[in-house]
Structure 1
Amino acid sequence: MKTSSESAAHSYNGYIMLVVLTLLVVLIIWSVSGGAPPTGAEKSAKLLFVGRLLGAVFGILIVASGFFMIQPNQAAVITLFGEYRGTERREGLRWVWPWMMRKKISARAHNVHSERVKINDLRGNPIEIACNVVWRVSDTAQAAFDVDDYKEFVNIQIEAGLRTVGARHPYDDMSDEDETTLRGSADVVNREPCEELNDRLRVAGIVVDEAGLTHLAYAPEIAGAMLRRQQADAVIAARQKVVLGVVGMVQDALGKLAADGIVELDDERKATMVSNLMVVLCGERDVQPVVNAGSLY
């Protein structure tokens, strides 16, 4: 397929042509009011008057139909009998010959929030994902001629790119390996949709300035199971932290007792003390103290 390329169009200053239109209107008014031949004039004079009048009217129609307005961040693609004749980006009132077609294309930034898409992540888990995309037209010729409907093309490619990016990574890290995940690697995952969409939309002359995930969740059919798994992981991590802290406290207690010479414990008593402290410090409920008033042994 031949790739189109934007080029500058040749158009005229619309304000100058507005002056020409005004002169033509004055001419036709003068022709009707003061320039009409008398009743008994010759036929040739009457024909000349009618011809001048029709010419002025035709000129007014020609000039009036060639005006078009270009607003800021807007462009007009100009064609002549199906042939691309350039793109006009200069702001203000412009004028071209009326048989040259003008198609206006906005060069402003567009913001699109995609629908939630249900896909499978790298491990095959069904997830729901959505993104927000900011895009704009950079090459009006490609947008007008290389794709049928560039706005619909953008919407379809956003969904396709979102599926591609979502299938590259797992939703969450279920192993001990440090890998890129959709939930935990926001900097990487938010960069990939922008790169993917720029590759896909380059054929339409469209540039994606920003793309990021706005919704990410497990599909409803597995959300409950995954929530229990996440809760289990949180409980295990908390338990590990508690155990490490308790071990340090027991070591400090035994070291302090030995250093200050408060009491000397054999290995069996140390094991008993460690066991009791671990139970007391790691337990989730308050313990009931038991006072031993007898001998240590």
Structure 2
Amino acid sequence: MIQEKQAWIMNGFLGILIIALLVAGTVFSIFQQQFVLGGICLIVAITLGSGITLIQPNQSVVVIFLGKYMGTIRQEGIVVTVPFSVRRTISLRVRNFNSNRLKVNDVNGNPIEIAAVIVFKVIDAAKAVFDVDRYEQFVEIQSETAIRAVATKYPYDTFENVELTLRGNAEEVSNELTTELQERLRVAGVEVIEARLTHLAYSTEIAQAMLQRQQASAIIAARKKIVEGAVGMVQDAIEQLEHDGLVELDDERKAAMTNNLLVAIVSDHGAQPVINTGSLYQ
């Protein structure tokens, strides 16, 4: 693998001054009919002029001479580098990549739609040019592959809160996606700054059925909490009555009171009170 190194450069303004002096020397030599000296000055001026390179901020230039990597220029401004070389400009700016909506199966086999935005930048121009073919396309393909890999590790959602889910643990999923992408894109000299999910939903063919399933699971979970609370309230009420000595309840009356209290608390509708005024034989 190629490691980035600094290419040979000369200050651009100094190079332009030297080229101007060589051109002036060429003209002077021609007037003095010293054609050999004038030709040499002209050849040197053209040679130096072919190495003039303009580099904008947050850009780098990869220098290639006769098929060999000569180095990378990161210094902004105008410079003179290896003459007659091929120079490829690589942007070092931060960029976004929005993935397409991908259809994958979660860990439970449910088809879902998922998409993400990837924030990245090139940190090694030599790797981006020589170690992969068209690094922009490489980033896109590897990003979609990583999204699929992460999406298949987790369920879309769960109501038990015992495991990570794609919908309920967006921060953890994003961190894992960032780590997965960095491992894949390191070979291209790319640093992944952030990866975030931008779209997450059940696939259209099962969306309605999964919505009903979610509603049913939510109702069951809510009922379970209500029953747990109701049992605790009934137990506390009976213990309080017996502790204060207000009533003495045998097992049959405890069962009846428990039944009445549970019905009153758990019922969807308000319980209708029945007032006991005593029996005829009391």
Above 0.5 in TM-score?
yes
Contact 2:93 2:122 in 1 (8 A): yes
Partner of 1:182: 166
Point out where structure 1 has 5 or more consecutive residues left out of the alignment.
Answer: 38-44
Partners of 2:199 and 2:54 lie apart in 1 by 40
**Which residue matches 1:277?**
261
RMSD: 2.8
Aligned mates of 1:222, 1:143 — CA distance in 2: 41
In structure 2, the residue matched to 1:287 is 271
The residue number in structure 2 matching 1:12 is 10
What is the CA–CA distance in structure 2 between the aligned matches of 1:168 and 1:63, rounded to whole Å?
A: 57
SS in structure 2 of the partner of residue 171 of structure 1 = coil
The CA deviation at 1:155 is 0.7
After superposition, where does 1:196-207 map in structure 2 within 5 Å? 196-207=180-191
- Counterpart residue number, 1:152: 137
1:253: which partner in 2?
A: 237
Between stretches 121-130 and 285-294, larger displacement belongs to 285-294
Q: Report how many residues are paired.
A: 281
Q: Does 1:162 align with 2:162?
A: no
Find the counterpart in structure 2 of residue 215 from structure 1: 199
Moved more, 77-86 or 53-62: 53-62
Letter in 2 for 1:143: A
Assess, with a 3 A threshold, how the Cα gap between structure 1 residues 177 and 242 changes in structure 2: closer, same or farther.
Answer: closer
CA offset at residue 58 of structure 1?
A: 6.0
Determine the C-alpha separation between the residues in 2 that align with 1:268 and 1:88.
Answer: 91
Larger deviation: 78-87 or 205-214? 205-214
User: Does structure 1 conserve the Cα–Cα contact (< 8 Å) formed by 2:112 and 2:202?
Assistant: yes
Taking a change above 3 Å as real, the CA distance of residues 239 and 163 of structure 1, as seen in their structure-2 partners, is same
Aligned to 1:194: 178
TM-score (norm 1): 0.82
Deviation at 1:50, TM superposition (A): 7.5
Shift of 1:78: 0.4
Post-superposition offset of 1:57: 6.3
Distance in 2 (CA, whole Å) between partners of 1:188 and 1:51 is 72
Q: Which amino acid is the alignment partner of residue 247 of structure 2?
A: V
SS in 2 for 1:259: helix
String of CA shifts for 1:26-56, please: whole Å, max 9, x gaps. Answer: 667x75xxx996xxxxxxx6xx278777777
**Which one is further off, 233-242 or 57-66?**
57-66
Q: Secondary structure in 2 aligned to 1:78?
A: strand
Task: Name the stretch that deviates more: 179-188 or 221-230.
Answer: 179-188
Deviates more, 1:265-274 or 1:10-19: 265-274
Q: Radius of gyration: which is bigger?
A: 1
- Superposed counterparts of 1:261-272, under 5 Å: 261-272=245-256
Q: Which amino acid in 2 is paired with 1:127?
A: I
In 2, the alpha carbon distance for the partners of 1:26 and 1:204 equals 46
1:259 and 1:7 map into 2 onto residues whose CA distance is 85
Contact 2:63 2:82 in 1 (8 A): no
Q: What secondary structure sits across from 1:69 in the alignment?
A: strand
